[in-house]
Structure 1
Amino acid sequence: MAGAVKIFRMAQGKSSTLSHLYINGIFGCYLLEDAIRQTKVAGHTCIPEGSYKLLLNTWGEMNKDYLKRYPKMHKGMIELSGIPNFKAIYLHIGNTINDTAGCPLVGSWFNMVNGEFEVYQSRLAYERIYPVLAKLMALGPVQLTVTNQHLF
């Protein structure tokens, strides 16, 4: 295994979930997802707890958009693979649960607004973690573990 990536879910808003992303034991960024539910609903639920594999996905419109935005850095969308009944779940840029479509959004810091978490400086967080994750994936398989840990 080339690397270990962990998502620790830390807090719930009304319909949002705030998490921490760790790469080989080092804090990488905050994540924002939709609410935790027992059954994943496309576009409205965070991914279930469990272990998944990270892949670089090189197809689709989002991949084309990110290649234009980051021509020197982008090698494919960071996809969370192996989620039962779902495909094309990516780590990507965004600020509110309206931007997620069921995917984790990256952020440099967070705030709660009207009972919902939001992440900010998402592009900076993406530019910081993407090269690290892409390099790990180039070395071999990368395991992602998702754990619900509500601390507050």
Structure 2
Amino acid sequence: MAQNIIKIERFFDTGLSTISRYYIAGTRIKGYILECPGPDTTMSNQRKRIPVGTYKLKWHHSPSMPAHNPLILLHNINVSESRKILIHCGNTVNDTKGCLIVGSTFSQDRVMQSGIAFTALQTYISSIGIEKFEVVISQNLGERI
């Protein structure tokens, strides 16, 4: 079992995107995540959210994002590695096909300072070992921003 948990809590859904908070307890690693709108699905190429739950992590090298490699790939028994759910940089849902985009700040349907947030997360995970982490996604939708 992983000793380090990246907690992601969805709190706002506009119909165009979903915004979440993320953090690693006991660290300064925190920010926001933008992902596609709901509903949740395990199917690929739907531009929808992945299901709430617990995910294992592994590194993934993407030929389409070489400057940011390695990216962080999430998977579990319901969401296979082949679905390629990644944590990566971006600003809007146009920058994703169903992945999680990190940012330091957010506004409706957008995260900002994505490169800074991603580098901090990537560096921290690298320093400890990706196999010692898991992601836990929960949902508490309905907040207003």
TM-score with structure 2 length normalisation? 0.83
Paired residue for 1:50, among 42, 49, 53?
53
Q: Which runs of 5+ in 1 are unaligned?
A: 68-75
Aligned residue number for residue 70 of structure 1: none
CA drift of 1:62 comes to: 3.8
Aligned residue number for residue 93 of structure 2: 97
CA distance in 1, matches of 2:41, 2:83: 15
Residues 41 and 49, structure 2, Cα contact 8 Å, conserved in 1 = no
> What is the RMSD computed on CA atoms of the aligned residues?
2.1
Aligned residue number for residue 36 of structure 2: 34
- Compared with structure 1, are the counterparts of its residues 130 and 118 closer, same or farther at alpha carbon in structure 2 (3 Å cutoff)? same
Aligned length: 138
Residues 38 and 48, structure 1, Cα contact 8 Å, conserved in 2 = yes
SS at match of 1:18: strand
Aligned residue number for residue 4 of structure 2: 3
2:79 counterpart of 1:84: yes
Paired residue for 2:127, among 123, 135, 139?
135
Aligned residue number for residue 103 of structure 2: 107
TM-score with structure 1 length normalisation? 0.79
Aligned residue number for residue 13 of structure 1: 14
- Compared with structure 1, are the counterparts of its residues 137 and 146 closer, same or farther at alpha carbon in structure 2 (3 Å cutoff)? same
SS at match of 1:61: coil
Residues 62 and 71, structure 2, Cα contact 8 Å, conserved in 1 = no
Q: Percent identity?
A: 28
CA drift of 1:12 comes to: 0.5
CA distance in 1, matches of 2:128, 2:99: 21
1:129 partner amino acid = L
Q: Which runs of 5+ in 2 are unaligned?
A: none
